[in-house]
Amino acid sequence: MAKETKKNQLGKGIRALLSQMDDAGPKQKEEIVQDLTTHSNALPMDWIEVNPFQPRVEFESDALAELAASIKLHGLIQPITVRRLSDRSFQIISGERRFRAAKLAGLNEIPAYIRLADDQGMLEMALIENVQRQDLNAMEVAVSLERLMQECDLTHETLSERIGKKRSTVTNYLRLLKLPPEIQKSVKKNIISMGHARALAGIDNLSLQLTIHKELINKELSVRSLERLIQSYQKPAPKPVAPVPTAKSAEMEHMENHLKSIFGSKVMIRKDQKGKGKIEIHFNSVDNLNYILDILGEIE
């Protein structure tokens, strides 16, 4: 007998699990769905097809190339989600950009959550139960929350009610998915905490995010120390201090006093080292201004 190909070996466990669905009772079916929807499975790339109803049809080539390079270096952090069509045929529900980048990176298989055609209610229950587990890292929680929103069509508000967490907490978790893969990987491996990741997510500049992330790990900073470090990078440059005016000469003070006696108002003469400057005549009312203008008119 010919030796099984790697692809057949790869999909054997998944096919065996899916084949149980037809004869499974309600309880067993629920367990299978929970396993498929909360644990990713490695699927061969050529078993997967894109969704023809995907609203997004254009993917920016430079961004795909950058993601592909990151996948080569760090692997795919966030699995895609597919719908089972047959034993060896699956259609993408979410994650087409990640799928295209993985293909560009030369991957033969990709981690994926598998959805069944009629598992909507069980999917929601399984994911909510998964979010409420105590042993998940922040990235796993973030991925589950995003799946609940995308696949179960939940808003931030509805999602926060379903899982019993504040809306701000949901938002903070979802922001982690926008972090670069290097930082997501650190969260997933518990190298940095949720607090660290939340602080890094507040940085708009990608290059600065990665720089501070590296410094955070090298120095093993606490969350408070990290926040101070971020503030030091983002602190606006101090305004240039105006030069302290040099003491006025007796001659300059005499001229100011002379003009003050003419206009009946405070007069200041400012002069730089090159001899350039200006004369300021102060007034404290409209009548005072008109009086000064009258005198200037007489001078003309």
Domain boundaries, the chain: 1-55+63-118
Tens of pLDDT, residue by residue over 220-239, are 999 999 999 998 887 766 66
pLDDT at 144 over 70: yes
pTM: 0.49
4, 58, 60, 96: the active-site residue: 96
> For residue 279, what are the contacts with CB-CB under 8 A and spacing of at least 6?
259, 267, 268, 269, 270
pLDDT-derived band at 110 (thresholds 50, 70, 90) equals: very high
Tens of pLDDT, residue by residue over 84-103, are 887 788 888 778 888 999 99
Q: What is the pLDDT of residue 25?
A: 66
List residues bridging with 279 in a β-sheet: 269
Tens of pLDDT, residue by residue over 241-270, are 655 555 667 777 777 777 776 776 787 887
Q: What is the pLDDT of residue 137?
A: 83
pLDDT-derived band at 66 (thresholds 50, 70, 90) equals: confident
Tens of pLDDT, residue by residue over 149-204, are 887 778 888 888 888 888 888 888 999 998 988 899 999 888 999 899 999 988 88
For the structural domain made of 1-55+63-118, what CATH number should be given?
Answer: 3.90.1530.30
Mean pLDDT rounded to a whole number for the chain: 78
pLDDT at 2 over 60: no
List residues bridging with 267 in a β-sheet: 281
Say whether 96 is catalytic. Answer: yes
Q: What is the pLDDT of residue 102?
A: 93
